[in-house]
Structure 1
Amino acid sequence: MSNRLLLIVVLLSSLGLTACKISTEPTTPEPLVASVETPNEAAPSDMDDPAVWVAAERQRSMVIAAAKEGGWRVYDLEGKALQQFVPGVDSKGKPLNRFNNVDVQYNFNLNGRRVDLAVFSDRRQDRLAIYKIDRDDPRGPLVNVTSPEISRLFPTRPNPDDRSKTVANAEDGKNTAYGLALWRDRSNDRLYALVNQNNEAIIDQWELVARPDNTVSARPVKKWQFAYQYKGQDLTQKSETDPQKDFSPQFEGMVVDQQTGILYAGQEDVGIWRVNLKTGVAEGKPFYETRTFDPHSRIARDVEGLTIWYGRDGRGYLLASSQGKAHGKVPNPTPGLDNTFAVFMREGDNAPIGSFSIGANRGLGIDAVQESDGADISTVALPGFPFGVLITQDGYNDDLNHLDGTVKATNLKFTPWQRVANSFSKALSTDSNYDPRNP
């Protein structure tokens, strides 16, 4: 203690006052680390995309996740497994389902009953897999309500020789259902699924439709086909030896702003596009490019999980995972910006704010997040997460094998939103009154 500080304490004592504890240590934000993680998923399971379901009784809220060929999982807010689905296999031992992405929506009109739904994209079946969410159902909390008559999502694909025409699409999981996001249009009380096509620059809109037998089907509404070239680069170019010459036109990560009806869609190698679902108009170019096309970009190929934190009065933040292909055989052209999440303003032109990464929580034995694929945010205060929570897929659980691209060990990490907010020099907002049931 310095002489000056000691003198102050003595003077306060002589006046009969109690001196408060005075710290000379600098104040720093809480470290940006996760506070919860789910059990490890090893091959053939591969955790991919999470979605937070907010229950009316907040403590009963859950995280629902797609685990690809491992099926799907449901966790409570402490990361404990509540339910799982493991697919059967065909005659060759190959899983019959490959669940790629998942999203949740509330208050779907199922023949006069309002139910919440979790919807998966099934890449192997090329269909939507639709589940009713009910914590009180003894079969649940997820109960399959997919209509047995639901149609394929992508029975055709663009003809590679003339993309103004189509050809029949094999049901082999190669050019089938991939990324998914849901949107409930409050103006007509209809629920839509936005699904993109693997290996193609295609996004389709489907309306979910209740059937008389209380199952749910879907009907096609609209298709957007984007360019297969960007700034002179052929997005179908392939190379087994030079990753800088290996491209894909496909989208995956998507999120819909439930208040504005704007779809944000990540074309993995190119950038983030905006589509106005109310008008059906897609902008002519992405509003933010990857580093391949903008050397100053905070997103490396490939851009992945997109999610939104909703603030008051239309404010908030759009987050995007810079998965980056930073490990293994693919070089990292700009060290320090991969394994990160880029943050944009939600309002206006989505101006970029900065980036953050999620480090290891040594105290709880939770490792860092690398090459995150899917992500989701609950803006609602939940037990253990008073300002909301960011759920991220971790592509290298336990940081195994020096992150060399060969280990299939994945899981989910739960990070309190205030840790994300406080990691910026000018803290992000934690003030929200958003209700996902009535956005």
Structure 2
Amino acid sequence: MTVGTGSPVAAAGETAAVGTKVRDAADDPEIWADPRDPSRGVILGTDKQAGLYVYDLAGKDLQFLPEGPLNNVDLRDGFEVGGRKQVLIGASDRGRGAISFFLLDPDNLQARLWGRTPVKVSEPYGFCMGRRGSETIAIMVGKDGDIRQLNITDQGGQPAATLTRSFDVGSQSEGCVVDDEAGYLYIAEEAKGIWRYSLDPATGSARVHMAPAPSPELTPDVEGLTILREMGKTYLIASSQGDSAFAIWRVDGEPAYVGRFSVMPGAGADAVTGTDGVAALGGRVGAFPEGLIVVQDDSDTDGETTEGARARQNFKLVDWRAVKAALGIQ
């Protein structure tokens, strides 16, 4: 992969490389900052050959859960189990045909496996979570674009899932994200772009083709999707894997394209190429006063090529302020 074609933004840090070497491994990140104290929190990252990493907000290893193969990861906090609110983490489990659920203790930042819920799809691939009223929702994206929407509850100390909707996107899909406030579900069909659905199961498969691909904004494969909220504004960020860039739309009203950026060397980290998953969180996140973006890098060592065996993959940290400056976001 070549260095990205978007407006250049320097990396602000990185995680250690995932432990699986000489194989496609690092995939999808997620971020949680403690609402009581945003200086503390975690970055999650899947190693799709091995399990789930938990990093601190500077990218340092805190914990590894060897529960792989896990592909995509998402979370929602304030989920009550046994009378105590915890952070519910879910990940698509390709080996077991299930969602693997974890609980993160917000006090000690330790995660543990909670349980697994089987889901029948072509192959567990993409995954995201959301909230609709009091409901906690999980979305499983099958590799062939077959979608299952489920409500997740605690039943006697174990996760339980109730299927509420099934539909098909059309072809291979992975990235998805839920905008809880607007009630939208966004899904990336890798060769065709981004679709927007209502989160309401009663709407079935009705959808809007929000951003087609290939296009000036998106070069297939279209991969990870994430939502960043800041000061009443909501942004959708998409991973344009084909040209190692990230496209941004403002989506708190009618979708409006903002621009594209690519991650260049900075803070001792190399440039991001062939990127897959992406996560973002607005507001104060650790040392990032206005927001943090975390992206997968498919080649952590300078000089590696797509033709040879790749020894390292990891996740890069990006300061939202740098992205706003590069794209002129006010």
Alignment of 1:388-427 (within 5 A): 388-404=291-307, 406-424=309-327, 427=328
Does the 8 Å CA contact 2:248/2:258 hold for their aligned counterparts?
A: yes
Q: Deviations over 1:41-84 (max 9, x none)?
A: 22457111001011132232110111101211000112110000
Alpha-carbon distance in structure 2 between the residues aligned to 1:136 and 1:112: 15
Alpha-carbon distance in structure 1 between the residues aligned to 2:207 and 2:56: 41
Shift of 1:136: 4.2
Alpha-carbon distance in structure 2 between the residues aligned to 1:261 and 1:405: 43
Aligned match of 2:62 in 82, 85, 108? 82
Return closer, same or farther for 1:184/1:284 CA change in 2, 3 Å cut-off: closer
Return closer, same or farther for 1:144/1:284 CA change in 2, 3 Å cut-off: closer
Alignment of 1:236-385 (within 5 A): 249-278=171-200, 280-281=202-203, 282-291=205-214, 296-313=215-232, 315-324=233-242, 338-361=243-266, 364-385=267-288
Letter in 1 for 2:211: Y
Q: Deviations over 1:330-373 (max 9, x none)?
A: xxxxxxxx111111121333222221111111xx3210011111
Does the 8 Å CA contact 1:389/1:415 hold for their aligned counterparts?
A: yes
State whether structure 2 residue 152 is matched by structure 1 residue 208: yes
State whether structure 2 residue 113 is matched by structure 1 residue 144: yes
Alpha-carbon distance in structure 2 between the residues aligned to 1:110 and 1:129: 16
Aligned match of 1:61 in 13, 36, 41? 41
Alpha-carbon distance in structure 2 between the residues aligned to 1:322 and 1:406: 23
State whether structure 2 residue 77 is matched by structure 1 residue 117: no
- Corresponding position of 1:47: 26
- Corresponding position of 2:105: 134
Shift of 1:406: 4.0
Return closer, same or farther for 1:136/1:196 CA change in 2, 3 Å cut-off: same
Q: TM-score, normalised by structure 2?
A: 0.91
State whether structure 2 residue 329 is matched by structure 1 residue 428: yes
Q: How many residues align?
A: 320
Does the 8 Å CA contact 2:197/2:207 hold for their aligned counterparts?
A: no
Gapped runs of 5+ residues in structure 2? 1-6
Structure possessing the higher relative contact order (Cα contacts under 8 Å, 6 or more residues apart): 2
Q: TM-score, normalised by structure 1?
A: 0.69
Shift of 1:223: 0.6
Partner-residue secondary structure (3-state), 1:397:
coil
Alpha-carbon distance in structure 1 between the residues aligned to 2:79 and 2:253: 30
**Which structure carries more strand by proportion?**
2
Does the 8 Å CA contact 1:306/1:320 hold for their aligned counterparts?
A: yes
Does the 8 Å CA contact 1:31/1:419 hold for their aligned counterparts?
A: no
Does the 8 Å CA contact 1:63/1:74 hold for their aligned counterparts?
A: yes
Q: Deviations over 1:206-251 (max 9, x none)?
A: 1112121x12122211111234xxxxxxxxxxxxxxxxxxxxx121
Shift of 1:267: 0.5
Partner-residue secondary structure (3-state), 2:209:
coil
Query: Structure 1 vs Structure 2: percent identity of aligned residues?
Result: 29
- Corresponding position of 2:126: 179
- Corresponding position of 1:32: 9
Partner-residue secondary structure (3-state), 1:422:
helix
Return closer, same or farther for 1:59/1:285 CA change in 2, 3 Å cut-off: closer
Gapped runs of 5+ residues in structure 1? 1-29, 88-96, 158-174, 228-248, 325-337, 430-439
Instruction: Please say which of residues 392-401 and 75-84 is displaced more in the overlay.
Output: 392-401
Shift of 1:196: 0.7
Partner-residue secondary structure (3-state), 1:383:
coil
Return closer, same or farther for 1:176/1:222 CA change in 2, 3 Å cut-off: same
Return closer, same or farther for 1:135/1:316 CA change in 2, 3 Å cut-off: closer
Aligned match of 1:193 in 129, 135, 138? 138
Return closer, same or farther for 1:423/1:223 CA change in 2, 3 Å cut-off: same
